[in-house]
């Protein structure tokens, strides 16, 4: 009878290896490989044609790709900063509430509980130029006579998307910053009061430095989230009108599944992932600096 003479450590590690191979490694290698081929979903034989860095060069010289890239970075910058400021304000206010704070914290998280697809539909309705709530309200208040083309004009559509994004995710910042606020030791704040600080100065010089690590953690998490933004945009504008709200992943999704050019889509995907990794590293370094400032040591 055949009896495998595998060393015990290998036997013990094998289940983990197999799972990792099946779930992560093989798909990853396959997609990376396909990004060097002209792989077309409808012509499987194209998977075996090696074209080297052709797809990458094509993406790098594609104006549409770089516009989508720029728009994604823009969305990241505006959405993250707005969410951070609003979340900070929200957290500061909620932290002062003495009664019913638990209920408030729960209510604050409601937007996170909805599917982004539904949020997309909801805002698509709200910003609709004919039957939408916003135009209705503006016209009823007599602020404007014309129907504002919220989802049709490129800039306005981008604004509407950012608005929906901020509405959904501000609470992520609020919750994390609130956790930070609860963790702040009271002594230095009292010392600051006695040292002559106004409430604003106490916030600026004591509270904020304490909160920075929490803000950077939220930033790192959210940057990954926003960089892969797809659902809300897909529902609200489908990247349109005329690609004016096209983001990296809507472009990649369209290229891969609508145009079936999976090889090219994978190449763009890898560039997008590099960008995400870049953002994560950036915020992680910031986080480490902020922690070192506080004498919290290395992570």
Partner 1 sequence: MAQVQLKNVVKKYGALGVVHGVNLDIAEGEFVVLVGPSGCGKSTTLRMVAGLEDITGGDIVIGDRVVNDLPPRERNLAMVFQNYALYPHMTVRENLGFSLKIAKKSQPEIDRAVDEAANILSLTPLLDRKPGALSGGQRQRVAMGRAIVRQPEVFLFDEPLSNLDAKLRTQMRVEIKKLHQRVGSTVIYVTHDQIEAMTLADRIVIMRDGHIVQVGTPLQVFENPVNTFVATFIGSPPMNLLDGTVQAGQVVLADGTTIPLPPGLHIADGRRVQFGVRADNIMPEGHALPPTAHMAFVDMAVTLTEPLGTETLLYATLAGTEIQAKMLNPRPVSPGETMRFGVALDKCHIFDADTGLNLRG
* Candidate residues 57, 118, 133, 294; the one interacting with partner 1 per rule CB under 8 A: 294
Q: What angle do CA 134, 162, 145 make, to 5 degrees?
A: 25
From the list 53-61, 111-119, 187-195, 218-226, the region that binds partner 1 by CB under 8 A is 187-195
From the list 29-37, 47-55, 170-178, 180-188, the region that binds partner 1 by CB under 8 A is 180-188
Please state the length of the chain.
Answer: 299
Cα(39)–Cα(257) distance, integer angstroms: 12
DSSP letters, 55-118, are HHHHHHT-HHHHHHHHHHHHHHHHHHHHHHHHHHHHHHHHHH--SSHHHHHHHHTHHHHS-HHH
| Count of residues in contact with partner 1, rule CB under 8 A | 22
Shortest distance (Å) from residue 184 CB to partner 1: 11
8 A C-beta contact, residue 37 and residue 17: no
Q: Which of the 8 DSSP states describes residue 148? A: P
Shortest distance (Å) from residue 213 CB to partner 1: 10
Residues from 199 through 238 that contact partner 1 (CB under 8 A): 201, 205-206, 209-210
Joined together, the tokens standing for residue 37 give 């081929």
Answer yes or no whether residue 196 interacts with partner 1 by CB under 8 A. Answer: yes
Residues from 99 through 118 that contact partner 1 (CB under 8 A): none
8 A C-beta contact, residue 158 and residue 240: no
Answer yes or no whether residue 198 interacts with partner 1 by CB under 8 A. Answer: yes
* Candidate residues 105, 193, 228, 243; the one interacting with partner 1 per rule CB under 8 A: 193
Binding site for partner 1 (CB under 8 A): 185, 187-188, 190-198, 201, 205-206, 209-210, 293-297
């Amino acid at each position: 009878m055949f009896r495998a003479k595998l060393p015990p450590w290998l036997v013990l590690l094998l289940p983990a290896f197999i799972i990792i191979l099946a779930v992560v490694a093989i798909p990853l290698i396959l997609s990376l490989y396909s990004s060097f081929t002209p792989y077309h979903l409808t012509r499987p034989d194209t998977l075996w044609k090696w074209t080297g860095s052709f797809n990458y060069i094509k993406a790098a010289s594609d104006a549409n790709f770089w516009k989508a890239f720029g728009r994604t970075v823009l969305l990241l910058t505006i959405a993250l900063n707005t969410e951070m400021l609003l979340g900070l304000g929200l957290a500061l206010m909620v932290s002062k509430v003495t009664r019913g704070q638990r209920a408030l914290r729960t209510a604050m998280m409601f937007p996170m509980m909805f599917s982004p697809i539904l949020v997309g539909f909801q805002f698509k309705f709200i910003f609709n130029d004919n039957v939408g709530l916003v135009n209705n309200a503006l016209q009823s208040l007599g602020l404007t006579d014309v129907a504002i083309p919220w989802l049709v004009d490129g800039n306005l559509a981008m604004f509407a998307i950012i608005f929906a994004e901020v509405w959904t995710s501000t609470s992520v910042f609020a919750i994390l910053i609130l956790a930070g606020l609860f963790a702040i030791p009271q002594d230095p704040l009292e010392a600051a009061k006695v040292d002559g600080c106004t409430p604003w100065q106490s916030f600026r010089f004591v509270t904020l430095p304490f909160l920075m690590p929490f803000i950077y953690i939220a930033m790192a998490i959210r940057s990954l989230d926003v960089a892969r933004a797809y659902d809300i945009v897909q529902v609200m504008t489908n990247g349109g009108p005329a690609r004016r709200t096209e983001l990296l992943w809507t472009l990649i999704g369209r290229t891969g599944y609508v145009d079936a050019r999976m090889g090219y889509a994978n190449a763009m995907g890898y560039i997008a992932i590099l960008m995400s990794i870049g953002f994560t590293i950036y915020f992680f370094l910031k986080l480490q600096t902020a922690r070192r400032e506080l004498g919290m040591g290395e992570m």
